[in-house]
């Protein structure tokens, strides 16, 4: 049996992390921009057209047959993608097949997992699946936090997932791509067909680097399937099924602007801050998430642009009906979309040439010749906790439970200004702590914390502090914010955690930035 992990060492962030994880060597975090890789990218096997059907027809009758022909066997790495989010129907079927075939010890490498994947818990228990490397939202996170997964979980950002595949850190044996539309050659997209869900960007790395690639679709069209978000030239087999996914379930967070007075205040303070700091200007760019507060901030940004006759150059999204409305109103040139969060987003990506699909390669991969994250003027992100050094946590709650994935969160921190609009406390638990339970983002990359009771600017951002001099906004130190919360809620207890590790958190460069401990029993 492989070593789950070895003794811990202290990394550059002062966190204790293993160097051997699931039997493989990993590098502890060395500091932002400090680890420079010296190797070469993963080199997939060379294929030959001589081994593929000359008429381009790669269809096989079932997912089972495609998996068997792909050589599914013990210990393999199987990847899937979360374009359908909680409406994914395919990942569960793959492991149903694996169970039927008696295959064991698989590594599941999803781009994210969702509550719909609770179905897989018996397979984690019976040895079909050894471990998950990917976000473990909801029930799988709870299962893992309680120490029940045999292997150690590995959490990566979207960009880190691309990096890990590109660099050969994770070698995918079989990638299964659920696609709303495909042709028999395997060219595929997510914008056409009855289950259109948006883009297929999370599967790009897998298509490029996996040994075998299976496309599963419910809408088989004659060659050529245009646009070809996935190139059939990377695909081995195509499977037609009744339903590739449930597109109505792609909705992320809320599609409602917040009605909470505190959250509205946070949104207003955030947009005012951006305006006063000179971040909002003609041609600026931003990324805001899909929560109620973030949506409200986007609305404020739109109002400012409209009032002044300005136009944003691009919005990085997670798109939904709000940025789409801005695009169609002419308030922004482009939506650079990493993932569509509602069906209006899907429609817009299909119809608007300015609604551009991106991938973790273009947007987030830290081991490329640059990426787009650094070109975004301001990103608005969430966090479960922040500490007095501006370090932030996005994966565990303050009780230690691993309930969220990293998503693009770490990658976005490289924007010109990163703002976390967060409530000062949640369920009477302060959000600003002496130390975060799990370190996901180093404080040096987090610039501003906006709460309903004040705004803290990272002291390292002297330029922002300079620009905000004389502002009527409630600027405070982060310690002041923490004290205010503690005055109201009391000093929070540290979570009761076991010494045993259940997962590690990767940084964008593949190094290990923190460990996640088992929740104490």
- Contact footprint for a second copy (CB under 8 A): 33-56, 58, 166-167, 185-186, 213, 222-224, 226-228, 231-236, 283, 313-314, 334, 336, 353-354, 356, 361-362, 365-372, 374-375, 414, 416, 509
CB of 105 or CB of 333, closer to a second copy:
333
**CB-based contacts of 403, cutoff 8 Å, min separation 6:** 137, 138, 141, 142, 145, 395, 396, 397
SS3 category, 72: coil
**CB-based contacts of 363, cutoff 8 Å, min separation 6:** 158, 159, 316, 336, 338, 371, 372, 373, 408, 411
CB of 341 or CB of 414, closer to a second copy:
414
CB of 332 or CB of 485, closer to a second copy:
332
CB of 9 or CB of 226, closer to a second copy:
226
CB of 32 or CB of 403, closer to a second copy:
32
CB of 62 or CB of 223, closer to a second copy:
223
What whole-number distance in Å separates Cα of residue 99 and Cα of residue 178?
20
Give yes or no for a contact between 396 and 431, defined as CB atoms under 8 angstroms apart. Answer: no
Task: Record the tokens describing residue 510, joined without a space.
Answer: 């593949």
CB of 45 or CB of 259, closer to a second copy:
45
SS3 category, 107: strand
Minimum distance, C-beta of residue 361 to a second copy, in the bound complex (Å): 6
Minimum distance, C-beta of residue 50 to a second copy, in the bound complex (Å): 4
* Cα atoms in the Cβ-side hemisphere of radius 13 Å centred on 54: 1
CB of 48 or CB of 256, closer to a second copy:
48
Strand 188-189 and strand 417-421: the pairing is: unpaired
Task: Record the tokens describing residue 213, joined without a space.
Answer: 């690639």
What whole-number distance in Å separates Cα of residue 455 and Cα of residue 465?
11
Minimum distance, C-beta of residue 204 to a second copy, in the bound complex (Å): 11
Rg, the chain, Cα only:
23
Integer angstrom CA distances of residue 157 from 230, 281, 409, 421, 475: 21, 30, 7, 20, 31
Burial 284-310 (b: 16+ CB within 10 A, else e): bbbbbbbbbbbbbbbbbbbebbeeeeb
Task: Record the tokens describing residue 34, joined without a space.
Answer: 């400090």
Minimum distance, C-beta of residue 296 to a second copy, in the bound complex (Å): 26
Minimum distance, C-beta of residue 34 to a second copy, in the bound complex (Å): 8
For residue 158, the surrounding DSSP H or E stretch is helix 158-166
Minimum distance, C-beta of residue 172 to a second copy, in the bound complex (Å): 15
Minimum distance, C-beta of residue 104 to a second copy, in the bound complex (Å): 28
CB of 1 or CB of 50, closer to a second copy:
50
**CB-based contacts of 309, cutoff 8 Å, min separation 6:** none
CB of 44 or CB of 520, closer to a second copy:
44
Task: Record the tokens describing residue 315, joined without a space.
Answer: 């919005």
In the sheet that holds 153-155, the strands lie side by side as: 153-155, 497-506, 512-519
Minimum distance, C-beta of residue 345 to a second copy, in the bound complex (Å): 17
Strand partners of residue 238: 59, 215
Minimum distance, C-beta of residue 166 to a second copy, in the bound complex (Å): 7
CB of 35 or CB of 390, closer to a second copy:
35
How many residues make up the chain in this entry? 521
Minimum distance, C-beta of residue 217 to a second copy, in the bound complex (Å): 17
Minimum distance, C-beta of residue 367 to a second copy, in the bound complex (Å): 5
Minimum distance, C-beta of residue 373 to a second copy, in the bound complex (Å): 8
CB-neighbour burial class of residue 238 (10 A; exposed 0-12, middle 13-18, buried 19+):
buried
Q: Is 61 left (phi over 0), alpha (psi -120 to 50) or beta?
A: alpha
CB of 367 or CB of 476, closer to a second copy:
367
Minimum distance, C-beta of residue 365 to a second copy, in the bound complex (Å): 7
What whole-number distance in Å separates Cα of residue 191 and Cα of residue 180?
7
CB of 353 or CB of 470, closer to a second copy:
353
DSSP 8-class letter at 289: -
């Amino acid at each position: 049996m492989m070593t789950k992990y070895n003794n811990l060492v202290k990394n550059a962030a002062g966190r204790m992390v293993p160097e051997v994880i699931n039997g493989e060597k990993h590098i502890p975090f060395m500091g932002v921009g400090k680890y420079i890789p010296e190797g070469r990218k993963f080199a997939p096997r060379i294929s030959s057209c001589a081994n593929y059907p000359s008429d381009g027809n790669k269809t096989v009758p079932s997912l089972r047959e495609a998996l068997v022909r792909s050589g599914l066997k013990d210990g393999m790495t199987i990847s899937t993608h979360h374009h359908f989010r909680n409406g994914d129907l395919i990942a569960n079927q793959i492991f149903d097949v694996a169970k039927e075939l008696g295959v064991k010890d698989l590594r599941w490498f999803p781009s994210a997992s969702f509550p719909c994947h609770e179905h897989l818990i018996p397979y984690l228990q019976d040895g079909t699946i050894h471990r998950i490397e990917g976000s473990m939202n909801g029930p799988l996170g709870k299962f893992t936090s309680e120490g029940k997964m045999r292997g150690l979980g590995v959490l990566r950002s979207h960009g880190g997932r691309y990096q890990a595949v590109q660099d050969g850190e994770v070698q995918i044996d079989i990638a299964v791509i659920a696609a709303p539309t495909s042709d028999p050659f395997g060219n595929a997209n997510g914008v056409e067909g009855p289950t259109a869900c948006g883009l297929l960007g999370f599967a790009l790395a897998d298509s490029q680097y996996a040994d075998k690639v299976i496309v599963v679709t419910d809408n088989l069209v004659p060659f050529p399937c245009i646009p070809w978000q996935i190139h059939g030239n990377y695909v081995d087999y195509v499977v037609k099924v009744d339903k590739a996914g449930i597109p109505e379930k792609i909705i992320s967070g809320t599609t409602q602007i917040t009605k909470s007075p505190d959250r509205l205040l946070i949104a207003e303070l955030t947009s005012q801050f951006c305006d006063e700091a000179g971040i909002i200007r003609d041609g600026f760019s931003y990324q805001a998430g899909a929560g109620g507060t973030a949506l409200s901030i986007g609305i404020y940004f739109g109002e400012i642009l409209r009032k002044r006759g300005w136009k944003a150059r691009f919005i990085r999204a997670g798109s939904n009906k709000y940025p789409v409305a801005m695009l169609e109103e002419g308030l922004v040139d482009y939506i650079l979309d990493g993932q569509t969060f509602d069906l209006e987003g899907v429609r817009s990506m299909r119809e608007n040439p300015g609604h551009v699909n991106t991938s973790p390669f273009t947007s987030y991969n830290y081991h490329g010749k640059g990426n787009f994250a650094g070109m975004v003027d301001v990103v608005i992100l969430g966090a479960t906790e922040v500490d007095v050094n501006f370090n932030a946590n996005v994966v565990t709650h303050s009780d230690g439970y691993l309930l969220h994935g990293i998503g693009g969160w770490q990658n976005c921190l490289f924007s010109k200004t990163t703002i976390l609009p967060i409530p000062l406390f949640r369920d009477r638990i302060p959000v600003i702590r002496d130390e975060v339970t799990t370190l996901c983002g180093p404080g040096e990359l987090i610039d501003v914390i906006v709460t309903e009771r004040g705004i803290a600017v990272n002291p390292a951002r002297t330029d922002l502090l300079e620009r905000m001099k004389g502002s009527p906004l409630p600027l405070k130190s982060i310690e002041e914010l923490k004290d205010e919360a503690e005055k109201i809620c009391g000093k929070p207890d540290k979570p009761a955690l076991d010494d045993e590790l259940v997962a590690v958190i990767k940084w964008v460069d593949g190094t290990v930035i923190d460990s996640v401990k088992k929740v104490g029993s």
